[in-house]
Amino acid sequence: MGWHYRKSIKVGPFRINLSRHGVGSSFGNRRFHVSATPDGRRHVTVRLPGGFHVGKTFGSRRYHGPY
């Protein structure tokens, strides 16, 4: 059985995300959001009216952990 940890700290428009996998970051508002994962990927999300959203991930994982 694995264990999980996640803590998020908000600093203005930025958010620092702490997990057992490392430190990630994100910023944005309700319409546009950019995040960086602890393993090196970048994710951009654009939310459109009517409940639609478009997301794109850039990069690949820097390491291959056990998850």
Q: Tens digits of per-residue pLDDT, 32-51?
A: 999 999 888 999 999 999 99
- Give the per-residue pLDDT at 4: 83
Output the DSSP codes for the chain.
-----EEEEEETTEEEEEETTEEEEEEE-SSEEEEE-TTS-EEEEEE-TTS-EEEEEES--SS----
pTM of the complete model beyond 0.75: no
* Separation CA 67–CA 63 (nearest Å): 11
* Separation CA 27–CA 64 (nearest Å): 25
